[in-house]
């Protein structure tokens, strides 16, 4: 429960504001009061601890407002925070502790950033290895093979390794932008779902979807990695029980698997959480648009069927103004998503499409070879299916948003009632 007030404050503690904004909140049986005026007196201005406490008071209230939406994105945000690709958020109790021990927060944040650098370093090595393998393998072509199809066949592993590298570099270098998007998302959710019961229903629904997506992506990708590694080891003639007869030593194969998991498996899973952050945001936007469309359609039917009085028309004008506010909030949220995720989605789409094309080329190139269907077809067909799902089914919410916006525009520009 939140109360937003504007007032003039002059306090003896040095916090002085002219027509500042107060936010009074009741959360978990506790009362919180915060202000967005971050002016401190001259003695405290140079003290980072005092500035931190003053800033964190307002930031914590933002996260009180964001409690609902942070519950939806909990698996994605928490995973990215632990990996060092999202800024950490601290509760009010830690903020009071950090006021006295400000360095602790900096040390924790720096440690998680170093974790993010470790993943990026592993990915750079993996991408380099895959590029070298691609250049070497594309030059070894049987006389019966099409060299274009052979190059495409080797290409997927390079793009599978490059995809998380591109996505996570963007995430690592845009910490402030990601934190700003989190606050904008919380504001959008509070404005577009003002009813508490409706908001809780939306939270419960999409929270289940978020956790389901988290586990589904984990099972799909690591299942794909395990299947591909098993098939690769089998093709190399590996025997896990003894070193006798191995074309490559067992330790080398183990290091290959460990390197691939650190440099591709885990980072790819992290990039999928970024992708699902965008997908879930688009789903919330589509839900808000659907609610607005339903309200407008009901009102349009009432206007076309009944004769309104002056009082009814006055109430309708107020509804139209409220719809305009909601529509503008949706546009702002959509613009923020587009600004933050545009390059990320571009990288994901290009790499997934290239991987899908490579697996299809491998099937075409090897389909007529003796024994290939029995031994390798299932792996390549499964791989092609996985990346086809990434680019089609998982991207459905983006198309739903576009279709529902068109439905809103159809009502806006009808002659009976317009929102312009």
Residue 312 confidence (pLDDT):
63
Residue 346 confidence (pLDDT):
94
Residue 116 confidence (pLDDT):
64
Q: Which of 418, 403, 414 is nearest to 323 (CA)?
A: 418
Q: Which of 65, 62, 79 is nearest to 276 (CA)?
A: 79
Ordered per-residue pLDDT tens for the chain, 420 residues = 444 444 433 333 333 344 444 444 444 434 344 444 444 344 444 443 433 333 333 343 344 344 578 889 989 998 888 887 887 764 444 444 444 444 555 566 566 667 667 767 776 776 666 666 656 554 445 556 666 777 777 778 778 888 888 888 888 888 888 888 988 998 899 888 888 888 888 898 999 999 999 999 899 888 877 777 776 666 555 444 444 444 445 545 667 677 777 777 888 898 999 999 999 999 999 999 988 888 888 777 776 665 555 556 667 777 778 888 888 888 999 999 999 999 999 999 999 998 899 888 888 887 777 777 777 788 888 888 889 998 889 899 999 988 888 877 776 555 444 444
Residue 145 confidence (pLDDT):
60
Measured in degrees and rounded to the nearest 5, phi and psi for residue 289 equal -65, -40
HSE-CB at 313 with a 13 A cutoff on CA atoms is: 7
Asked whether 296 and 323 are in contact (CB, 8 A), the reply is yes
**What CA–CA distance (Å, rounded) separates 77 from 68?**
13
Q: How many residues does the chain have?
A: 420
**Three-state secondary structure readout of the chain:** CEEEEEEEEECCCCCEEEEEEEEEEEECCEEEEEECCCCCCHHHHCCHHHHHHHHHHHHHHHHHHCHHHHHHCHHHHHHHHHCCCCCCCCCHHHHHHHHHCHHHHHHHHHHHHHHHHHHHHHHHHHHHHHHHHHHHHCCCCCCCCCHHHHHHHHHHHHHHHHHHHHHHHHHHHCHHHHHHHHHHHHHHHHHHCCCHHHHHHHHHHHHHHHHHHHHHHHHHHHHHHHHHHHHHHHHCCCCCCCCCCCCCCHHHHHHHHHHHHHHHHHHHHHHHHHHHHHHHHHHHHHHHHHHHHHHHHHHHHHHHHCCCCHHHHHHHHHHHHHHHHHHHHHHHHHHHHHHHHHHHHHHHHHHHHHHHHHHHHHHHHHCCCCCHHHHCHHHHHHHHHHHHHHHCCCCHHHHHHHHHHHHHHHHHECCCCECC
Q: Where are the domains of the chain?
A: 1-65, 108-412
Asked whether 279 and 313 are in contact (CB, 8 A), the reply is no
Residue 156 confidence (pLDDT):
82
Q: Cα angle at 328 between 195 and 176, to 5 degrees?
A: 90
Instruction: Using only the alpha carbons of the chain, give its radius of gyration.
Output: 27
**What CA–CA distance (Å, rounded) separates 63 from 59?**
7
**What CA–CA distance (Å, rounded) separates 162 from 170?**
13
CB neighbours of 198 closer than 8 A, spacing ≥ 6? 291
Asked whether 253 and 233 are in contact (CB, 8 A), the reply is yes
Query: Which pTM value belongs to this model?
Result: 0.72
Write 168-172 long-range contacts (CB < 8 A, 24+): 168/85, 168/116, 168/119, 168/120, 168/123, 168/267, 168/270, 168/271, 168/274, 169/120, 170/343, 170/344, 170/347, 171/80, 171/85, 171/86, 171/274, 171/344, 172/84, 172/85, 172/113, 172/116, 172/117, 172/120
């Amino acid at each position: 429960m939140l109360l937003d007030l504007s007032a003039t404050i002059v306090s003896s503690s040095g916090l002085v504001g002219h027509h500042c904004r107060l936010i009074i909140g009741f959360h978990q049986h506790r009362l919180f009061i915060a202000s967005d005026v971050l002016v401190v007196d001259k003695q405290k201005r140079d003290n980072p601890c005092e500035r931190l406490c003053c800033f964190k008071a307002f930031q914590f209230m933002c996260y009180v407002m964001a409690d609902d939406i942070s519950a939806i994105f909990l698996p994605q945000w928490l995973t990215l925070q632990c990996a060092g690709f999202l800024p950490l958020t601290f509760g009010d109790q830690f903020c009071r502790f950090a006021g006295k021990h400000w360095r602790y927060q900096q040390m924790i944040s720096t440690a998680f950033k170093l974790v993010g650098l470790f993943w990026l370093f592993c990915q750079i090595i993996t991408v380099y290895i895959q590029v070298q393998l691609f250049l070497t393998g594309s030059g070894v072509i049987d006389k019966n093979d099409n060299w274009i199809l052979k190059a495409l066949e080797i290409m997927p592993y390079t793009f599978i390794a490059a995809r998380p590298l591109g996505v996570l570099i963007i995430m690592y270098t845009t910490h402030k932008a990601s934190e700003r998007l989190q606050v904008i998302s919380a504001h959008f959710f509070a404005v577009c779902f003002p009813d508490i019961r409706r908001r809780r229903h939306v939270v419960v629904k999409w929270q289940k979807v978020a956790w389901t997506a988290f586990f589904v992506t984990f099972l799909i990708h690591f299942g794909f990695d395990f299947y591909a590694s098993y098939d690769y080891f089998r093709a190399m003639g590996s025997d896990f029980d003894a070193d006798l007869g191995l074309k490559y030593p067992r330790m080398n194969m183990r290091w290959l698997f460990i390197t691939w998991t650190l440099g591709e498996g885990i980072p790819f899973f992290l990039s999928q959480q970024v992708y699902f952050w965008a997908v879930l945001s688009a789903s919330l936007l589509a839900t808000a648009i659907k609610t607005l469309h339903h309200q407008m359609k009901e009102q349009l039917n009432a206007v076309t069927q009944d004769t309104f009085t002056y009082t009814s028309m006055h109430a309708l004008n107020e509804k139209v103004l409220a719809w305009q506010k909601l529509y503008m909030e949706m546009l702002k949220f959509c613009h923020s998503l587009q600004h933050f995720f545009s390059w990320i989605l571009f990288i994901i789409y290009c790499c997934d499409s290239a991987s899908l094309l490579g697996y299809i080329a491998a099937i075409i190139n090897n389909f007529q070879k003796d024994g290939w269907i029995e031994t390798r077809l299932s792996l390549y067909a499964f791989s092609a299916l996985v990346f086809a799902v990434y680019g089609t089914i998982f991207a459905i919410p983006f198309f739903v948003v576009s279709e529902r916006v068109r439905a809103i525009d159809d009502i806006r520009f009808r002659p009976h009632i317009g929102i312009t």
